[in-house]
Every structure is written in structure tokens, then in C-alpha cells.
Structure 1
Amino acid sequence: MTATTPPTPLGPTSLTWAYFADTRMLLVGPRAAVLQNMLPALGQGVLDHSVFFDETFARIKRSTGPILDTIYGGADAAASGRRVRDFHHGIKGVLPDGTRYHALDPDTYFWAHATFLDHLVHGIETFVRPLTTADRRRLYEESKTWYRMYGVSDRNMPATWEDFEAYWERTLAGGIVAHKTARYGVGYVTKGLPAPPKVPKALWRAVSPPLNAVARFLTVGGCHPRMRELLDLPWSEADERRYQRFAAGVRRLAVLWPVLPDVVRYLPQARRAFARDGRPRVR
């Protein structure tokens, strides 16, 4: 398989289809986005070229849809992937140490993809069910199919799940930093969420304390311990116990999950794909 010959798109028999747009994955919080920006080249690219700081939620919304379409787009998945890739052609510059960066550098681009796979694996295991080694290997093979939809070089992509695990641990240990972009992305943990446009200040002062508490709990709880360490995110043993009780409660609700309407269970991209190609046939 080459970067110019995309594989057969993922479909109803894939684990990725069954879970990536499951709304329980939203409970993981911004783990993937923050981890992405902890890679120096990626964080710097966002700092230099993105409207992230001025239009944070708009930027996230614009990015999420096309990425979901590389999974759920069916025959159009490769075209969606190429559009995502093409967004990044002009994202290049120089790091503070003088090293040049480009968003389409294979190491940089794959790291962004790797954080989405981590988000999926972590989300399933935390809020849905345990994964077997076979499940993890299957999800990784599916992620390779998904990655090739972008039409970028896959020469640095680990060959197996076990190789990916080694790559992941190596990058967490020595390849990520507390970049300014990542710190900004979790700033609301200590400072509170910004007031939405058009919401009166008095109303926001009244309703924001519980919203801030929930946002902090989900954000910091969803972080990898290495992220908390580098970003100085406060998290106690008592916090961890509460988070694990919360996660266990969500997992227990799995018996009720199938009876809920799809509009509650899945994001729009998945619902459209199910209507087009059939519902997931794996759980």
C-alpha cells in the first residue's frame, strides 16, 4: 500500500466504527488535543498559524468533522483525508531552538494520529469495557487503514500494536514538553471557562462554578499522568478515586446504552454512516 493508493475504507465490521463516534468518548475530555500540542513541532505550528487562541471552540469544531469523515466517510473517506492533509501544507516555520518544522513531517503528522488512537483505546477501557490484546491489535490495524486515508507518508508508522506501545511510551518519556499551546489548552482548569459570547456576565458568574468543576474533573481526570506532571495539573489520590468511581458508574450504564436513541449515543457523522452502510456489527 502506498500513500497515493488508499485502502478500503473502514466500515460496520470495524471496532473503530463502533466506538470512535460513541458519545461516551467525549468523557475523555481534551486528552488528544492537549497531547498533540505537547509535541514541540505541533504545538509551535498551532501557535504560529492557528486561530486556536482567538477561536478555540470554532477551531476544534472545524477540525473534528473532517477527521471523523476519514473514518465514517465510506467511499469519500480518502477525499476527506486528503482535505485534512491539505490543510497542513503551509504550516511550517522555526522552533525556538532554530530547528525547522513542518506539519506534514511524518513524525509530526503521525503523532497527531497516534493521540486519536490513544483517545479511542483509553476511552473504551475507561468508560465502556476492558479491551483484550486482540482488540488492541485490531484497533491498531484499523488505525493504520485510517491513517493511510490522509495520503501522507507512512514510513514511520509502527508495524504492530506492540511496536506502537513502545513508540508511545518513548514519546511520552522524552518527546513531549509543556508547550505554551498545551498550557493554554488546559488553562481553564485553574482559571475557569471563558464566558460564551452573548451570555450576560451576571448569569455566567452564577452558573460557571459547577461547570468549571465538571470541566476540571473531566479534563484532568482524562489526562495521562505524564501530562499532569509536565503541565502541573493538580490531581490528588482522592480525585483519582472519585474519577474511578465515576468511570465505573458509566461502565455500569452499558446495559442501558443500546436502548437509548442514536442521537444520544453517536455523533452525526456516525449516524449518517450507519444510515448509508449499516450499523456496526461488532461490540
Structure 2
Amino acid sequence: MTPRTAPEPLAPGTVLWDVAGDVRLLLSLPAATVLQVAHPAVGAGVDDHSVFRTDPWGRAARSLESLQLWVYGGDRAIEEGRRLRTLHRHISGTDRHGRPYSALTPAHYAWVHATAYPVFLRAARYLDRPFTPEDERRLYGELLHLGRVLGIEDRDMPPTPEAYWRYFDTTVAQELERTVVAGELLDPHRPLPPPPGPLPRRLWPLLCPLFTRLQVFLTAGLLPPAVRDRLGVTWTPRQERRLRRLGAVVRTVVPPLPERLRYLPVARAARAAARRADSGTRR
């Protein structure tokens, strides 16, 4: 992709600009990750090449910053999309079924991006407010645009929400499985190194079981039901009631927060810069 044909970065007024930097994103990202690695090729790539076991906090921080740049980075979003493709160029191997994989195989790369749509919708349903049909369509169009920023060709993504759900249902039924990595991320007893800092290290033996149980609970709850069934994840009516109660608390607490607490740093800086530019334009 040359600079002449590079897509415009996302801007204020888009749905993604409003939701992708909200701190509630941190609650839904694990579900998107499980959806991604439940694909055998993606799961094998992460299993073979990622440092998610030895440096989970560093990897999470780097992935989150990258994601924020896609939406809020302006021209840096295009650069970040190129950097990611370069980074993934040499990620290849063989999955546990003996099939070769490559991270940049269009179908595999597109699936990783495509998982954002159902997770955004489910997170909004529980943690914010459900999207209107019009906003669902806008969100999908913006995700297609974001895919172009990341170097994903239009032909590799379903063109409409209706086509997306046919593609999603087929992928879930025919391709997804409880890969090694998906199984680990759904295990509330998995070992997890402490986050950086002396205080978290001292408290981690107490906090780790609480953290992993909450993370797995939210991950399971925000997965589409068909995916839970496919991966053998149990979800009871009692758990559903607990998730709805937790969501009600989150919906009450987060919206009134000041911007410095409600939005992640990259999003916060971009939103402030956009307000300054808009103010300058009106003067």
C-alpha cells in the first residue's frame, strides 16, 4: 500500500473514537483474544511465537498501545499497521493438526480483526448501552475501514453485517476449537506472573486468584453463546445474573468519571488534541 492509496485515519465523530479508548475496553479484550486464538492457526502462532506466558503484562501493554494507535494515532495509525504486518511476516509453523500456518495468510489475519465486532456488541450490551441497528452498521463499516488501515483487503472481510454473521457462524461451527492457548486463557487457575512493581509483587499471592477468576468470568460471559458451546465453556443462569449485576454497576460508575479516569492515555490525549483543534477552528 503506497501513501497515495493509504486510507484516512479514523477521526472524532466515529463510533470507534467513542468506544475504543473507554476503560471498559479492558474488561472485554480478553474475550476478543480467546475468540482469536480459538482459531487453530492463530492459536498455534501465539503458542509458538508469543511471550504471553513469560511476559503477559508487557505483551498486554504493547498490544493495547498498538490498538489505541489504530484508532487515535492519526497518521501514526498507518505506520502502526505497516509495522504489525512486518512483525508478523515471519510468524509461521505447523498447528497441532499438522497443517502449515502463516500469520499473514489473509483469512487468518482477517479473522483476528473480525473478532472485534461481536465482542464490541456484547460488551456494549452488558457494560454500556446496546448499539442501535444504525450504530451497529456504522461500527461494522468503521471496522472495515480500520482493516484497510491495518492492510486487510476488502475482499478478505465480509462486506456487510449480514454477510459477517454468515461468515462468523460458519467459522465458529467449522473451524474454532479449544486450542491450547484458548484453554489456558479460560483456566482460572493458570499461573500468572505478578505485574511490575514491588507492591503488586508482595500482594500477588492474594490478588492473583481473584484476578484470574474475574477475568475468566468476564471472558466467558462476553463470548457469544455459540462460541462458548463450541469451546465447552459452561455458563449458567446464575452466572448470567451475576454478569448483569456487574454490568449495572459498571454502567453506573464509569460514565460520570472525569475524562482522565474514563479514557486510556492514548485516547485521552487524542481527544484533548481534537478539542483544541476544533476550538481553534471556531475562533
1-side partners of 2:96 and 2:262: how far apart? 43
Q: Report 1 or 2 for greater relative contact order, CA contacts < 8 Å, sequence distance ≥ 6.
A: 1
Q: In the aligned structure 1, how far is the partner of 2:106 from the partner of 2:65?
A: 22
Aligned with 1:155: secondary structure?
helix
Matched, 1:260 2:257: yes
Bigger Cα displacement from structure 2, 15-24 vs 111-120: 111-120
Return closer, same or farther for 1:137/1:201 CA change in 2, 3 Å cut-off: closer
Is it true that 1:12 corresponds to 2:12 in the alignment?
A: yes
Q: Is contact 2:28–2:218 with CA below 8 Å preserved after alignment?
A: yes
C-alpha separation between the residues in 2 aligned to 1:88 and 1:43? 14
* Alignment partners' CA distance in 2, 1:117 and 1:164: 9
Pairwise CA distance, 1:108:
0.3
Alignment of 1:136 onto 2:136: yes
- The equivalent of 1:74 in structure 2 is 74
Gaps of 5+ in 2: 279-283
Amino acid at match of 1:47: D
Alpha-carbon distance, 1:230 to partner: 3.8
Instruction: Give yes or no for the alignment of 1:108 onto 2:105.
Output: no
Q: Is the 8 Å Cα contact of residues 185 and 216 (structure 2) preserved in structure 1?
A: no
SS of 1:45 mapped into structure 2: helix
Q: Which amino acid aligns with 1:7?
A: P
| Counterparts in 2 of 1:5 and 1:169: CA distance versus 1, 3 Å | same
Could you say if the C-alpha distance between residues 201 and 106 of structure 1 is closer, same or farther in structure 2, counting changes exceeding 3 Å?
closer
- Give per-residue Cα distances to partners, 1:12-40, cap 9 Å, x unaligned: 11011001111122222500111100011
1:273 equivalent in structure 2: 270
Conserved? CA contact 1:10–1:146, under 8 Å: yes
Deviations 1:203-246 (A, max 9, x none): 54444454444334323222222343344434321111111222
Aligned-pair distance for 1:202?
A: 7.9
Name stretches of at least 5 consecutive residues in structure 1 with no aligned partner. none
**Contact 1:85–1:152, Cα closer than 8 Å, also in 2:** no
Aligned length: 275
Correspondence list, 1:128-167, <5 A: 128-167=128-167
Q: Which moved further from structure 2: 90-99 or 209-218?
A: 209-218
Please, which moves more after superposition, 80-89 or 119-128?
119-128
Q: Cα RMSD (Å) of the superposition? A: 2.7
TM-score by length of 1: 0.86
Q: Does 1:24 align with 2:19?
A: no
TM-score, length-normalised on structure 2?
0.86
CA distance in 2, matches of 1:97, 1:213: 30
Q: Report the secondary structure of 2:101's partner residue.
A: strand
Is contact 2:184–2:190 with CA below 8 Å preserved after alignment? no
SS at match of 2:154: coil
What is the aligned counterpart of 1:196 among 191, 194, 197? 194
Whichever residue aligns with residue 125 of structure 1, its letter is R
- Percent identical among aligned pairs is 38
